[in-house]
Amino acid sequence: MSTFNALMREIKFTARDRTVVFWMVTVLGLSAISLAFGLAEVKHQQATIQQLLDANQQERDAEFEKLKDWGSAAYYTFHLTYDAPSDFAFAALGQRDVQPWKHRIRMLALEGQIYERDVGNPSIALIGRFDFAFFTAFIVPLVLIILLYDLRASEKTAGRYNLLEATVGQSSSFWFLRAAVRSGALFLCLIATLFIAGMIAGTAVSKLLLAGLWVLIYIIFWTVICFFIAAWRKPGSVILMTLITVWVSTAVILPALSRLAIDKLVPVPPGADILMMQRETVNDAWDLPRETTMNAFFEEHPQWSDYQQVESSFEWQWYYAFQQVGDQKTRDLSTAYQNGRLQRADIAAWVSLLAPPSLLERSLQALANTDLNTSIDYEESVRAYHAALREFYYPKFFLNQPFDKALLKNLPKFEPNQ
Amino acid sequence: MKSILLIAASEWRYWLRSHLALAAALIFFVLIIAVSVLTAARMEAEKHARSHQQAEAEETFLAQPDRHPHRMVHYGHYLFRTPAPLSIFDPGLDTVTGQSIFLEGHRQNTVMFAESSASADFGGLSWLSPALVYQLFAPLVIILLGHGCISRERESSVLTPLLAMGISGHQLILGKALALVSFTVLLLLPLIASGAIALANGESVVALLSLFGVYGAYLLIWVILTLLISATLSKRSTALGAMTGLWIGFCLVLPSIAVNITTDAKTVAGKIETDLTMLSDLRKLGDGHNANDPAFQQLRADLLKQHDVERIEDLPVNFRGVVAMASEEKLTKVLNEYAESRMLAELQQEQHLLDYGLLTPVLAIASASRAIAGTDLAHYHHFQREAEAVRFDFVQGLNRAHVEELSYENDINRNKDEASWQRARIDASNWQVLEKFEFQTTNISERVSTVSSSIQMLLLWMLIAFGALLWRGGKIKP
């Protein structure tokens, strides 16, 4: 019962401390702001996707007249692919400002299209958004530091320190209780706003609970660090600066150095090389004997190797075959580029275990499907869709099926990842 | 005057005895020097790699064999954005914008392959640069050294005798300010080292002085704010707490919140969205690959009349080339119109963001720093415009060769058989239309003029803070 009484006493005491109340209101307000803007941005991105889908359909309708055969149908029909924001994206917008999440593609060589960057204003991406993940991972520890660094020092200045030490039975548990009440209140401010935003967005409860658990662990982690460093018999300013140095090291310096080291350790081929090789292959094909191109094509598509080519006039079969060969020739470089990015992401995931702010931000982004891996998954889904388009058209080309516009409604539809 | 110097000197003596001040200064200098060296190495390597790739791209283009000229239009060319000399201090947008662009006929592509898309991801703060160290961490050191400079005297009851000795509040503040300002100048020394390297790489002295000036002004704002809080709050710990809170707000919270407000209030249509709007406009222009397109009937009639012949076969020039040239020009006009309006929208969005510079001086210094370094949005746009000029020039150069060097007859019969396929090509010496390219920053007066509003914002901050300090200094009481 005495623990309960002590807890109630601390809560009442904390509620009367104007500085603490000020910080709680601030955290509550900032958390709400970050979430409200996150919800608005997700809504905006969803509207953009819908608008693009409509505009692309209109464009297809307008081009419909131009379609004279299967080849021109494949040439003039563009398809919109996109990665829709998840139901938790409002809390961690992550890579969506720097990585493309929409591509408008057609059946030409994919490597020439997939690295297009339809991303927003770089000045905005550089500063970064104030989303819940950034706020919780980077700002909240600083607030905790301010709230906890001078627990004892402030009582000393107020002249109550010795009295408190003498009256409470076990002094360390008393100070821990006081720290826990402050941290707990801060956690409640965060979690309450997050759950309300989650209800508005219709987020899966399991995701919210998992996010809540991570935030809880994170706050406990920083509370413990603050508590132990604040227990030093040193002036408040030394304790504060030590804690801020811990923050700077884990939030900024370690991530920055790790980024440099990992990028150095895992080289990726320069992106421009992929494009250049693709361009060389596609362009050289015009001058190469057609068998060379067709043979390279048949190697991967033996089912069409019976196809008899006509010698010199322009043929769509040949045209799309060298587009395909362009992708085939670039595959090694392109795969190396993708594997390099994935490997960098993997090492970063391990290193971030040493940098808790990065760890929490990355975990929330993974939960929200806004991390680098999701971005690469989306790229994969575009590749799969492009392959499906080829599967649709190749029989039409090589079996010389008569052109029928009505059959175009059977074109594969892009299904975004869930 | 003498008493001001004495106060400043005694403040310095206090810092030199304080382990905390020494440790903080030491950490800062290790950090700034390490980050400067690493950033300089990274950007130099980038510069080297991109210039190399640029030279290679030009060589490959010029080495192409005899071909149909329109094939070269689609073969296209690559440009690489070489980093500015001062990017070793402030890489700015370099990491979040694409490094290379593919140029070809009939299209304006996006700039592709940003470093940030492939880098190990640790969030925004991990793109640490000397500029960011000055923007975020130099204020922290100033706060640490300065928060107690007046409240300490008050706490240790020295303030009363000091004031009784006839030293005015203003003199006290000026003395403390002098100490902090001289320390700030010391903080800025590593900037000069980065600047010297940039100078050796062709940067102007004016740019370095401007950079020194804006960072000096920015840190001075922090000095004044720290003195103000130290003079106002009675306890050292409260002053430190308040300044740390202010630092979190100014450096970490408000710039990002300004981004949220800006993107919500002022949206910029993306590339695909703009492209789709543009396509409906373009459809009216006609297809440049098809010389029989009705959109070119007028051109055809005019040309026949001008040369007084009946059939396009009898023209002394290749009509297909004429059409390609005319349509590229019309098309480019539309493409540029849309590109310009997209860039304008981006600039307006950024301007909107900078309007929130009244909330925090960090937005103003960051934008001024990027602009002076030549790594801001204006330079990214500048690169896109230069790329477009290169694109248009070589495409039209090839089209001119198409008009003059290839006969109409050979051109239309190109698909007949292997021999006609061979005849429909022109000499590779025509590929010399390509000019050498190296991306350069604009001259410094232009750079400074684009940030005049940010500089005014910094000055305004300084004036307001200084005014408040003067007012406060007059009222210093024990």
Instruction: Encode chain A (418 residues) as per-residue pLDDT tens digits.
Output: 467 887 888 788 778 888 889 999 999 999 999 999 999 999 999 999 999 999 999 999 888 888 888 988 999 999 999 999 999 999 999 999 889 999 999 999 999 899 988 888 999 999 999 999 999 999 999 999 999 988 777 777 667 777 777 776 666 777 888 889 999 999 999 999 999 999 999 999 999 999 999 999 999 999 999 999 988 888 888 898 899 999 999 999 999 999 999 999 999 998 888 988 888 888 888 888 888 888 888 888 888 887 766 555 678 888 898 899 999 999 999 999 999 999 999 999 999 999 999 999 999 999 999 999 999 999 999 999 999 999 999 988 888 888 888 888 889 999 998 7
State the pLDDT confidence band at B287, using cuts at 50, 70 and 90.
low
Mean pLDDT of B195-210: 91
Q: What's the pLDDT at B31?
A: 94
* CA dist., res. B308 & res. B292, Å (int): 20
Residue type, B395: V
- In order, the DSSP letters of A346-410 are HHHHHHGGG-HHHHHHHHHHHHTT-SHHHHHHHHHHHHHHHHHHHHHHHHHHHTTPPP-GGGGGG
DSSP code at position A136: I
* CA dist., res. A253 & res. A197, Å (int): 32
Chain A residues touching residue B356 (CB < 8 angstroms)? none
CB within 8 Å: A126 and B117:
no
Q: Which of B121, B132, B262, B377 to mutate to test the interface with A (most CBs of A within 10 A)?
A: B121
State the pLDDT confidence band at B16, using cuts at 50, 70 and 90.
very high
Least Cα distance to A285 among A319, A234, A246, A254 occurs for A319
The rounded mean pLDDT for chain B is 89
Q: What's the pLDDT at B167?
A: 81
Residue type, B393: D
* CA dist., res. B268 & res. B112, Å (int): 19
Chain B residues touching residue A34 (CB < 8 angstroms)? 260
Query: Does the pLDDT of residue B460 top 90, yes or no?
Result: yes
Q: Does A55 touch chain B (CB under 8 A)?
A: yes
Give the domain extent around A46: 1-418
3-state secondary structure of A129: coil
- Note whether A121 and B258 are within 8 A (CB): no
Q: How many CA atoms, within 13 angstroms, populate the side-chain half-sphere of residue B74?
A: 14
CB within 8 Å: B260 and A283:
no
CB within 8 Å: A122 and B38:
no
* Residue A171 CA: distances (Å) to CA of A1, A163, A180, A233, A324: 18, 11, 14, 15, 74
Mean pLDDT of B5-25: 91
Measured in whole angstroms, how far is the alpha carbon of residue B76 from the centre of its chain? 27
ipTM for the whole complex: 0.91
Q: What's the pLDDT at A287?
A: 80
* CA dist., res. B331 & res. B384, Å (int): 17
A with B: how many residue pairs have Cβ under 8 Å apart?
A: 262
Q: Which of A30, A314, A352 minimises the CB distance to B122? A: A352
Query: Does the pLDDT of residue B143 top 70, yes or no?
Result: yes
State the pLDDT confidence band at B282, using cuts at 50, 70 and 90.
confident
- Note whether A133 and A215 are within 8 A (CB): no
* CA dist., res. A399 & res. A331, Å (int): 27
Q: What's the pLDDT at B121?
A: 85
Q: What are phi and psi of A321, to 5 degrees?
A: -65, -40
Chain A residues touching residue B20 (CB < 8 angstroms)? 235, 237-238, 241
- In order, the DSSP letters of B43-56 are HHHHHHHHHHHHHH
Q: Does A127 touch chain B (CB under 8 A)?
A: yes
For A65, other C-beta atoms within 10 Å of its C-beta total 8
Residues 440..469 of B with a Cβ closer than 8 Å to A: which?
Answer: none
3-state secondary structure of B98: strand
Q: Which residue of chain B is at minimal alpha-carbon distance from A270? A: B113
Q: What's the pLDDT at B477?
A: 67
Mean pLDDT of B230-246: 89
CB within 8 Å: A37 and B421:
no
Q: Which of A120, A236, A283 minimises the CB distance to B270? A: A120
Give the ranges where A266-371 is alpha helix by DSSP (H).
271-284, 290-300, 316-351, 356-367
Reading the block at residue A7, the tokens are 């807890």
Q: Does A117 touch chain B (CB under 8 A)?
A: yes
Domain count of chain A? 1
Q: Does A136 touch chain B (CB under 8 A)?
A: no
DSSP code at position B77: E
Q: What's the pLDDT at A210?
A: 97
* CA dist., res. B341 & res. B132, Å (int): 31
Tens of pLDDT, residues B441-450? 988 888 988 8
Q: What are phi and psi of A110, to 5 degrees?
A: -75, -35
